[in-house]
Structure 1
C-alpha cells in the first residue's frame, strides 16, 4: 500500500509541476479541470446517482467551470497574468473585481455564506437528514462547491505561485498538526458520529502549526526572492498580526469542516473512499476535501486586505 501511495504521488507531482511552471495559464487550468470533474463524478456516485448520471455530473462540472470562466473573462487559456502589484492600489466598486483580481469579490462572499452557514447546518443535522435532502439538491450543491473551488484555484494561481503554494501548505499543515496533536493529546471527540478519530485538541494543534508555518513563510517572503506575496503576508499587511491569526485560525477550522463534510457523505453512502481513481490514496475528493472550503475562503479574506 505504501509503495502504491508513493508511486501515485510521484506521478501526480510529475504531472502537476510542469503546469505550475508553464508560461501559459491553460495547462494548469485544464489539469485542474480534469481533477475537479472527476471529483464531480465521485460526488454524484456518493449521492445515489451512479452510472451515466455520475458521468453527466462530471461533465456538468467541467461545463459549468468553463462557462463561468468565459462569462467572467478569466484569462485561463492565454499567458499567465499575475496580480497587480501592491503599489498600484486597490480601488474597486461593489460587485466588480478588485484590482489584481479577475473574479468579482461577491463570488467569494457567496462562498463564505455557503460554507459557513451550510457547513454548520450539515455537520449539525447531516447525520440524520442528509439522505432526506432531494438528490438533485445535493448534486446542485456539489456542483456549486466544485465550481467555486476551481475558480479559486485559477484565481490563486494568477495571484502567484507563492500565494497558491501557501494556501495548499496551510491545509497540509493543519491536517498534519491535527493528526499528531490528536494522537498525542486527543481526549475530547470533535464529531464522533462522523469521524471518531478527530478531537478538539487536534484542531487546536493544527491551528498552532499553521501559525508557526505563517511566521516562517512571512520571513521567507521578506528575506528571499518570491514571485508574489504569500497568503500569510497579505493577511498580515491587510489585517495586522491579530487579524491575521484570527483569519488563519478560521481557515484551519474550515479545512476541518471540509474534511468532516466529505467524511459524512461517505459515511452516509457506506463508502470508505470517494473512489479508487488514485491508487493508494482513494479518490480525488479524498485528497481535496479540506481544500474545497479553504481555496475560496482564503480569497474572501484576501479581499478584505484591499480597497
Structure 2
C-alpha cells in the first residue's frame, strides 16, 4: 500500500508541477478540468448512478466547466460569498442528518448538488492560481496543515468525538490542533515567506492580515479550518451512506479524486470571499 501511495504521488507531482510552472495557463486549466470531471463521475457513483449515467454526469461537468473556461468570466465577489454562506448553512444541515438523513434526500437533488459544489471550487482554484503561486500554495497549505495538525493532535489529545456517526476518528481536540497548526503556518508565511524577494504576490495569509488585521484574520482562519473539516466530514457522510470506503480507485493507494479534494471544496471559494469582504 505504501509503495502504491508513493508511486501515485510521484506521478501526480510529475503532472502537476510542470502545469503549475508553465508559462501559459492552459496546462493547469486542463489539470483542474480533468480533476473536477473525475470527481463528478465519482459523485454520481456514490449517489446511486453506475455505468453510463455516472459517465454522463462527469461528461456534463466536463462540458460545463470547459465552456466556463472558454468564456473566462470575471466572477463578482458575490459568487464566493454565496458559496461561503451555502457551505456554512447547507453543510450544517447535511451533517445534522448524518448518513441516513443524506440517503433520504431525493436522488436528483443529491446528483445536482455535486456540480454545484465542484464547479465553484474549480473556478476558485483557477482564481487563486491567477493571483500567483504564492497565493495558490498558501491556500492549499492551509488545508494540508489543518489536516496534518488535526491528525497528530487528535491522536495525542483526542478525547471528545466530533461526529462519531460519520467519522469516529475525528475529535474536537483534533479540530483545535488543526487551528493551532494553521495559525503557526500563517505566522511563518506572513513573517518569513511573504517577505522573500522571489514571491510573486501576496499570500492568502498576507491578504487576510493586510485587509483585516491579526484579530479578524485569526477568526477568518478559524472559519476556514472549520470549513476544511466540514468538507472532509461531508464526503465521509456521502461515502458512509453509499457503503463505500473510498470515492473510487482512480488514485491507487489514495482512493479517489474526491478523497483528495474534499476539504478544499469549501475552503477555496470561502477564502476568496474572506479576502474580498
TM-score of the alignment, normalized to the shorter chain, above 0.5: yes
| Alignment correspondent of 1:130 | 102
Alignment of 1:36-185 (within 5 A): 36-71=36-71, 73-74=72-73, 102-185=74-157
| Alignment correspondent of 2:213 | 240
| Alignment correspondent of 2:199 | 226
Q: CA deviation at 1:131?
A: 1.0
Quick one: distance in 2 between partners of 1:228 and 1:157? 11
**Per-residue CA shift, 1:85-118, capped at 9, x if unaligned?**
xxxxxxxxxxxxxxxxx32111101211221110
Quick one: distance in 1 between partners of 2:25 and 2:79? 21
| Alignment correspondent of 1:205 | 177
Q: Which has the higher helix share?
A: 2
| Alignment correspondent of 1:189 | 161
- 2:228 aligned with 1:251, yes or no? no
**Per-residue CA shift, 1:252-275, capped at 9, x if unaligned?**
110000000000000000000000
CA contact (8 A) 2:98 2:165 kept: no
Quick one: distance in 2 between partners of 1:277 and 1:223? 38
CA contact (8 A) 1:122 1:261 kept: yes
CA contact (8 A) 1:103 1:155 kept: no
| Alignment correspondent of 2:262 | 289
Alignment of 1:267-278 (within 5 A): 267-278=240-251
**Per-residue CA shift, 1:155-182, capped at 9, x if unaligned?**
1100111100001000000000000000
Q: CA deviation at 1:64?
A: 1.7
TM-score by length of structure 1 reads 0.88
Unaligned 5+ runs, structure 2:
none
Larger deviation, residues 102-111 vs 9-18 = 102-111
Q: CA deviation at 1:143?
A: 0.8
Unaligned 5+ runs, structure 1:
75-101
Quick one: distance in 1 between partners of 2:138 and 2:61? 26
Quick one: distance in 1 between partners of 2:51 and 2:235? 20
Quick one: distance in 2 between partners of 1:11 and 1:262? 25
Q: CA deviation at 1:127?
A: 2.6
